[in-house]
Amino acid sequence: MVKLAPGIKLLRSLTRAAKSHQKAAAKLLAAATPKPPKPPKPPKPPAQPRKPLSAAPRPPGKWLMAQHLLPPTSGLPVLYWLYLPSRVPDSVAQHGWPLVVMLHGCQQSATEFAEGTRMNRLAEDKGYAVLYPQQAVSAQPHRCWRWYDRATQEGGGETAALVGLIGKVCEQYPIDRRRIYACGLSAGAGMAAVLALNHPELIAAVGLHSGPVFGASHGPLGALQVMRHGAPMHADAAIAGVLERRSRQAFPVVAAPMPPMPALLIQGADDRVVNPLNQQLLAHQWLQLNGLPLGPASRVTVKTAARGGARNAHEIHDYLVGRKVVLRVARIAGLGHAWSGGDPALRFNAGPGPDASRMMLEFFGKHRRPAAARR
């Protein structure tokens, strides 16, 4: 091996150092130099109608898609779908459509939620309009409604956006404002509870499927903690905060008492995403809201599993005021984190009953706000 002279070694070292400095200078120059603006992208061609996610035939009513624009400082526009049945009953011609606001869970779209729950088919038969707002990916990467956000819990943020959307739909279509209901799965259930508790004069009843306890977290990490373990130490304080905020907002006028808030709570006993303890805590919260004692249910119904796996065994606990069920708590054996009785071809839906969509509409049909509470 031939050894290089010291002078040649030094020359090569200087050459390598010079090249390294040149590369570093080029990078700094590129970073400091403003990039020319990109040419505008050509407009996209009109979107083709999307094929149904499920093979089941669609109901015959109108399936409308639109966007609810918000003030620039209020957040992102809300994309939504609206189902209007083809048949108009006499009661609808006289009073307008009862409206169910359906709020999807994380990693779902509004259309997936509609098809998975089969709610539109039931709405066609029962005479309900159904509104499906969709969370934007740009607002939350997994499309989760931010039920855990403090501003949203206190009536701002996504709560205000949804109230504005409901108001818009009521102005554009004949909606019976005495009969507006909020319903959701998982994060959507959490959002439905927030919506109802901030606007009890607007929402006549709620349906919460696999939902987290209300108001016990104020951030994403806290939300995960609540979903996994519940929050028994904070549940009562959250409801006390709702009532205190209602009094504060009405000051100096004496606040009107919280109107009754009927609720249907559905939970899978085998849910590994939202701990079933959350349902117990929600039941306690709703008993407090409705002025009912924290005792046993007025009526308990036990249903065994159907042959062939068509229906899971389940228990229904009803809490009555007079002869009216104000709180219904359904615990379903063998059900994980999925909509009971939904289309199993789609995520977060379980085929075996009971049919949660049917349970929701049957419960909602027994509740409405008095005419004096219309907005």
| Spatial distance between the Cα atoms of 275 and 14, rounded to a whole number of angstroms | 66
| Spatial distance between the Cα atoms of 138 and 125, rounded to a whole number of angstroms | 36
- Cα dist. 252→23, 199, 241, 255, 256 in Å? 69, 20, 18, 9, 12
How confident is the prediction along the chain (375 residues), in pLDDT tens digits per residue?
A: 555 555 445 445 544 544 554 454 344 334 333 444 455 555 554 444 455 566 677 899 999 999 998 766 566 789 999 999 998 988 898 999 999 999 999 999 999 999 999 999 999 999 999 999 999 999 999 999 999 999 999 999 999 999 999 999 999 999 999 999 999 999 999 999 999 999 999 999 999 999 999 998 889 999 999 999 999 888 999 998 888 888 777 656 666 788 999 999 999 999 999 999 999 999 999 999 999 999 999 999 999 999 999 999 999 999 999 999 999 999 999 999 999 999 999 999 999 999 999 999 999 999 999 875 444
Cβ-based burial of 326 (10 A; exposed 0-12, middle 13-18, buried ≥19) = buried
- Cα dist. 53→49, 175, 347 in Å? 12, 28, 11
pTM, two decimals, is: 0.83
User: Which residues partner with 79 through β-bridges?
Assistant: 67, 134
CATH fold of 62-373 reads Rossmann fold (3.40.50)
- Cα dist. 168→90, 162, 201, 234, 286 in Å? 24, 10, 17, 35, 29
